[in-house]
C-alpha cells in the first residue's frame, strides 16, 4: 500500500467534490481543508468508507467564533487514518441567525457528545442530531458562553466594583 500524502488526499477529494472542498493550508504538517456545509456529511462518509483514504476515526468536533467574519462560526472536524497515521482537519464556515449544519452522528456515533458540547458552547444547531441538549452547562442557561461577545465574568456583578476596595 502506497503511503498517502496530503496532495494525494486532496486530489481524491477534489476529484469527488470539486469546488466544494478547498485547501487552506498545512500548518505543522496537518492538512486543513474547507468544505461547504452542503457536502460535509458526504465528505465525512467518503473519508471514512473510501478504500484508499480510510479515515476511520473521528478525533474531535469543535468550533471557533470569528465575530467579524461574514460566516462567523467555524465548525472544525479532526479525523484520523489510524492505518497510515494521517490526520486531517476539516473546517466548515457557517453563519445565519441560528447557525445550522447537518449532524455527523450518522457517520460516527461518537459525534453525539462532541456536537452537544459544540451546541452548548456556541449554539450551533446540528440538524438531525438525536439528542441536541446542553451537556456541560445548566439546561436553563440562555446564552452560549464560548461566543466572543460573552464576557469571562458577569459584567452585572456588583460585588467586584472598585469602590468596595477603596479604589
Partner 1 sequence: MSTPITKITPNQPVFFDNDPQEELITLNIGPTHPATHGVFQNVVQIDGERIVSGVSTIGYIHRAFEKIAEHRAFYQITPLTDRLNYCSSPINNMGWHMTVEKLLNIEIPKRVQYMRVIVMELARIADHIICNGILGVDTGAFSGFLYLMQEREFIYEIYEEICGARLTTNIGRIGGFERDFNDIAFAKINEFVNRFPAVLDEFEELFVRNRIFIERTSGVAAVTPEQALEYSWSGPILRATGVDYDVRISDPYCSYEEFDFEVPVGTTGDVYDRFMVRNDEMRQSMRIIRQALDKIDKEPKNIFHADVPEFYLPPKEQVYNNMEALIYHFKIVMGEWETPKSEVYHAVEGANGELGFYLINDGGRTPYRLHFRRPSFVNYQMFASMSAGMLLSDAIINMSSLNVIAGELDA
**Closest to 34 in 3D by CA, of 104, 79, 87, 93:** 93
Q: Between the CA of residue 114 and those of 3, 59, 78, 82, 159, what are the distances in Å?
A: 30, 10, 11, 20, 35
- Enumerate residues 121-150 that contact partner 1 by CB under 8 A: 121, 134-138, 145-146, 150
Q: Are 94 and 124 in contact (CB under 8 A)?
A: yes
Cell numbers given for 46: 467518503
Nearer of residues 14 and 135 to partner 1, judged by Cβ: 135
Nearer of residues 65 and 125 to partner 1, judged by Cβ: 65
Residue 85 in the binding site for partner 1 (CB under 8 A) = yes
Q: Are 36 and 43 in contact (CB under 8 A)?
A: no
Nearer of residues 35 and 114 to partner 1, judged by Cβ: 114
Residue 115 in the binding site for partner 1 (CB under 8 A) = no
Alpha-carbon Rg for the chain in angstroms? 19
37 to 76: interface string for partner 1, x by CB under 8 A: -------------------xxxxx-x-xx----------x
**Residue 34: CB atoms within 10 Å:** 15
Nearer of residues 37 and 134 to partner 1, judged by Cβ: 134
Q: Give the residues lining the site for partner 1 (CB under 8 A).
A: 27-28, 30, 32, 56-60, 62, 64-65, 76, 78, 82, 85, 87, 89, 108-114, 117, 121, 134-138, 145-146, 150, 152
Amino acid at each position: 500500500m502506497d503511503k498517502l500524502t496530503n496532495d494525494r488526499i486532496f486530489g481524491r477529494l477534489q476529484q469527488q467534490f470539486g469546488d466544494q472542498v478547498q485547501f487552506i493550508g498545512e500548518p505543522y504538517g496537518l492538512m486543513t481543508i474547507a468544505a461547504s456545509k452542503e457536502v460535509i456529511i458526504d465528505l465525512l462518509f467518503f473519508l471514512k468508507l473510501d478504500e484508499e483514504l480510510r479515515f476511520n476515526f473521528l478525533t474531535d468536533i469543535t468550533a471557533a467564533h470569528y465575530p467579524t467574519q461574514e460566516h462567523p462560526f467555524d465548525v472544525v472536524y479532526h479525523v484520523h487514518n489510524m492505518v497510515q497515521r494521517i490526520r486531517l482537519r476539516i473546517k466548515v464556515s457557517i453563519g445565519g441567525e441560528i447557525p445550522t449544519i447537518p449532524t455527523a452522528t450518522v457517520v460516527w456515533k461518537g459525534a453525539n457528545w462532541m456536537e452537544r458540547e459544540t451546541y452548548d458552547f456556541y449554539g450551533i444547531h446540528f440538524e438531525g442530531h438525536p439528542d441536541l441538549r446542553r451537556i456541560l452547562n445548566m439546561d436553563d442557561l440562555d446564552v452560549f458562553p464560548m461566543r466572543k461577545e460573552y464576557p469571562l465574568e458577569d459584567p452585572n456583578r456588583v460585588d467586584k466594583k472598585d469602590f468596595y476596595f477603596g479604589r
